[in-house]
A = this chain, B = another copy of it.
């Protein structure tokens, strides 16, 4: 692969160059309902409109009192207060708590004038219009103070934040009925390879699988919607026209294959024809060496391997973090665990390696067994395992028995309970 990949850059250098050379912005905003906004990226900073709670409220069912009245109360020597009324949630309290009196109050109800604490039912007894208090309550005891959740102006949801159900709930509590979110980027996916046919097509041949890997990975990012441009044969001119079409319609493009396989450099040739500027050509990534980035006009074209696993590593190591970085969106962390290696894991010097492993419980620990080294390009290394280790370029390998972080790709039954 000498011609194209003369100087491989490190994964970090690839990201650094991409972040410094490319700009990418969301293609607009839209209003989404509170539920549909979940999982989307917020396009505005949302603040509390009013104090929440809007007034002091009871946090329990019981009796609103003046806390000073309850001083010294005990079950053997209760304080007796006269019951003067009742306050329900959602109504304006008409009851007023003078010294020596109390109002029955329900959870969420506004604190009546004069009262500064609530005694729970459990700590009271009741007889003939009087309430026995068995336990003293401090000032504001069992009271939700005005503004203790949000004060007007507090940020509930920052801009460029992945919306979760609690954001929807908190915005609803402030009267917001929808959330402004960014439209997803449109990502053109172009598959190259004259030998490829689409699954489901008659005939046979080699089915396009890498395209579906990339389309699925894009879908899972949540920030981009894939648009599939189909398979292009090994014809640089034809490919250039498809890339041009994609960059007219899409925010960025991703190609797979056609990078120095069997001497066919159709993707680099097409990029050069279109006057593309190379940001980097080849990454010291295993697998995933062909991963490259060019800019045509002002739009990025990510170039991934034609091999599905190498396209996966190129996507995870470069495309995904670069998308998040350029857009300014902090992604949710991937699920991961710490596990103990069951055998030595060598790493070729200067390379970042994505090593698939199977994690499972083993004698009170969690063990990680690497998939055979030879199989690093096999799809079964992803479908029959449940995690991967990233070995950074500076590390010569890990020893048997060493603890490593495993990112989980498929369920790992029994390795995490509560």
Complex Cα–Cα for A332 and B332 (A) = 14
Who on chain B is nearest to A197 by CB? B175
Is A34 a contact partner of B216 (Cβ separation < 8 A)? Answer: yes
Identify which of residues 299-314 in chain A touch chain B, using a CB-to-CB cut-off of 8 Å. 308, 312
Who on chain B is nearest to A59 by CB? B377
Contact of A199 among B149, B172, B204, B408 (CB under 8 A): B172
Complex Cα–Cα for A161 and B386 (A) = 12
When distances are taken between beta carbons in the complex, the residues of chain B under 8 Å from A38 are 216, 219-220
- Interface size class, chain A: 35 or more
When distances are taken between beta carbons in the complex, the residues of chain B under 8 Å from A88 are 262
Is B175 a contact partner of A207 (Cβ separation < 8 A)? Answer: yes
Is B378 a contact partner of A148 (Cβ separation < 8 A)? Answer: yes
Asked if A199 meets B226 with Cβ closer than 8 Å, knowing A210-B169, A379-B166, the reply is no
Is B335 a contact partner of A261 (Cβ separation < 8 A)? Answer: no
Is A149 a contact partner of B331 (Cβ separation < 8 A)? Answer: no
Is B212 a contact partner of A34 (Cβ separation < 8 A)? Answer: yes
Task: Pick the interface stretch among A63-71, A72-80, A150-158, A276-284.
Answer: A150-158
- Indicate if A124 sits at the interface (CB-CB under 8 A): no
Who on chain B is nearest to A209 by CB? B173
Who on chain B is nearest to A409 by CB? B164
Contact with B along A166-210 (1 / 0, CB 8 A): 111111111111100000000000000111001110001111111
When distances are taken between beta carbons in the complex, the residues of chain B under 8 Å from A170 are 209, 308, 379-380, 382-383
Identify which of residues 94-138 in chain A touch chain B, using a CB-to-CB cut-off of 8 Å. 106-109, 121-122
